Each structure stands twice: as structure tokens, then as C-alpha cells.
Amino acid sequence: MRIIGLTGGIGSGKSTVARIWQGCGAIVIDADAIARDLMQPGSKVLEEVAQAFGKDLLDVEGKLRRAELAARVFISEEKTAQLNSITHPAIRYQIGMGIERARVGGVQVLVLDHPLLLESGMSDLVDDVVVVDVPAELRVHRLVKLRGLAEDDARHRIMRQMSDEDRRMRADYVIDNSGSRDALECSACELWQRFVEQVE
């Protein structure tokens, strides 16, 4: 089984590429979805996060107030690293379980969609690294316009991630998403077809 690691900075369109690949028949493990599941009320990981960053992060139903967590975490490298030290081991374990299920199920090409694939040290789980690349200023614009983030928040989040240059240097393949949706779809589909042909 060949495992393709898909990553990119926040606002790069990485999740859009994952959806395009799913439309081509790809099986995708979504690290963000795993992280959300691990933050469900009553989970051990959520309890650890609340212990570290404040019990008031949980609402009356025990649900995580995500915006408040982001405001407390993304203000410094130390806080971001503290959160990652709690969440990353649990995320890696769940990813490993998903990879094993795919292997047993006979999947030939598996996609690991992970925004922090390189920063978290999980690139050792994949055979190829695909980076979706967009200039930082364009990402800020998209995060503000399309996701409704405050500009300062968008910039803080980008600053806490690996630089675009470092990400590109560690990529086996780069998908440029600074153009239109049609251009992205064309590039993504061409690359996916190449992966499929290489395992046939």
C-alpha cells in the first residue's frame, strides 16, 4: 500500500484537494476529523486540554469552546507546543489504526490529510509528501473572507506553522493553489492519476 501525505498551511486549500481526490475514488484519513473526535465531551484528551489551559474552556454541556482555545494557544510557540504535546500522540495512534484497517482492507493508495504532517513528525507514516502551496498573504485574505477569521488571528495561526519555504523543501510534490478552482482540480486530478498508475 502506498500512503500519500497531503498537507499545507492553514487556508491553502488542502482539504479541497482531499475532497477532489475522494471524488476520484481516494480513501482519505482526515487528521482534523480525528482531532475533533478526540475533543468530544468526556474524552481523556479534552480533559487534559482543559486541565492545561483552563476548565472554563468547556461550556455547560462539557463541549470545547474552540475559538477560546485558539485565542489562548496560538499566541505563542510555547502554548502551541503544549497543546500539540497533548493531542499529537492520540492523533497518531488513531491514524495508525486507520492505516492498518486500510491495509487489511486491500487499499492500494491511501491519503493521509494532515495539516501538521511535517511539524508533528508524522511524515514517517507516509511514502510521499504532497504540499498544497499558496502565498501567505493570499491565505490571510481567504481566511478572513471565506472563514470569517479576524486578520490578526489568521496571521497568528500562519506564524505558528512551518514556513512555506520549509514546507516546499520537504515536499515530494507541490500543488499550486494560487489560481482558480478549475486549475486546482486539474492539477490535483492529474497528480492522483499518476499515483494510481504507479501502483497498478
Which DSSP helix (H) or strand (E) runs through 164? helix 164-169
Strands of 128-133's sheet in order across: 27-30, 109-113, 2-8, 128-133, 173-176
Amino acid code (one letter) for 184: L
Please check if 62 is assigned to a binding site. no
Number of separate helices (H) and strands (E) present in the chain:
9, 5
> Does residue 85 have a known ligand-binding role?
no
Residues sharing a CB contact under 8 Å with residue 172, sequence separation 6 or more, in sequence order:
128, 129, 130
Give the Cβ contact number of residue 139 at 10 Å: 24
- Decide if 103 contacts 95 (C-beta within 8 A): no
16 appears as a binding residue in the annotation: yes
**For residue 25, what is its C-alpha cell?**
475514488
145 is in an annotated binding site: no
How many angstroms separate the most distant Cα atoms in the chain?
Answer: 53
As annotated, the binding site includes 11-16
As annotated, the binding site for ATP includes 11-16
